[in-house]
Amino acid sequence: MSRIVFVNGAFVPEADAKISIFDRGFLFADGVYEVTPVVNGRLVDYDAHMERLDRSLKELRMAAPCPAAEMRTMHEELVKRNRLGEGIIYMQVTRGVADRQFNFPKDARSSLVGFTQTMALIDNPNARTGVKVVTTPDIRWLRRDIKSVMLLAPVLGKQEAYEKGAAEGWMVEDGFVTEGTSSNAYIVKDNTIITRPLSNRILAGCTRKALFRLAREHGVRIEERAFTPEEALAADEAFLTSASQFVMPIVEIDGQRIGGGQPGPITRRMREFFLQEAQKA
């Protein structure tokens, strides 16, 4: 089925959607994006995603493409027009169309596109078995707190993981895990969840933020500190979070089984809390 997508103010069939070859997103990856989950036709954690979008735009001195209310309408209309029950909305803002020059163009208007992708978020079969990860060097720039569309390093990292039979790459810098190529990284030791504190070296995941709240509500301890791949191998459990995977158990790191090769109890509990909340959003 052909989707209805959003391009600069208009809802059109995907085959009719057009963006200029002079768009700075295309030429420079001069843009930012958000991925918002949809469950039962409703947006999950929408406000957190829009807060992060505003921050990304500010950090890059990029204009907001439209007022907040219009952004919400775009998301809701995309769900409605595509009858999306479960999946994600991808939205992207770029600095707009201008003759190719590195410095910011004077009067370019931001481009805004949005589209839907159907995915099984709740009943994701990977969550039952858990997934494998491999470690890979973190070769990204130092503003990973900005959700920019400049994703070549994560593309290479994810491809390497796939070629090694794993679902995700855990990136390593100065001997410590930063995060996954498209997710945040966690281990569990002695009933405590351990994850890296926020900084310019990782993206502030919206799912991470929700996880922290749920952990607090349910009395699960979280320690914010960086951990090494060696520590991860000796952990009781490991998992990742992202908008499209929620809480995903990890059962193998670099070919070594974690927690007996089964999704761990704290990971499963946290996923369950998340699913309950997403389903009543």
Could you say whether residue 179 binds ligand PMP (CB under 6 A)?
yes
Q: What is the largest CA-CA distance in the chain?
A: 58
Alpha-carbon radius of gyration of the chain: 19
In whole angstroms, the minimum distance from the beta carbon of 256 to ligand PMP comes to 23
Binding mask 208-237 for ligand PMP (x = CB under 6 A): x-----------------------------
Cβ closest to ligand PMP, residue 105 vs residue 160? 160
From 147, 158, 189, 280, the catalytic residue: 147
Q: Which residues contact 230 (CB under 8 A, 6 or more apart)?
A: none
Could you say whether residue 266 binds ligand PMP (CB under 6 A)?
no
Could you say whether residue 168 binds ligand PMP (CB under 6 A)?
no
What the block records as the tokens of 94 is 């770029």
Q: Which residues contact 111 (CB under 8 A, 6 or more apart)?
A: 8, 19, 23, 25, 31, 65, 92, 93, 94, 96, 97
Q: What proportions of the chain, in percent to the nearest 5, are helix, strand and coil?
A: 30, 30, 40
CB 93 within 8 A of CB 65: yes
Cβ closest to ligand PMP, residue 12 vs residue 150? 150
Verify whether residue 158 is a known catalytic residue.
no
How many chain residues bind ligand PMP (CB under 6 A)?
13
Could you say whether residue 203 binds ligand PMP (CB under 6 A)?
yes
Site residues, ligand PMP (CB under 6 A):
35, 179, 182-184, 203, 205-208, 241-243
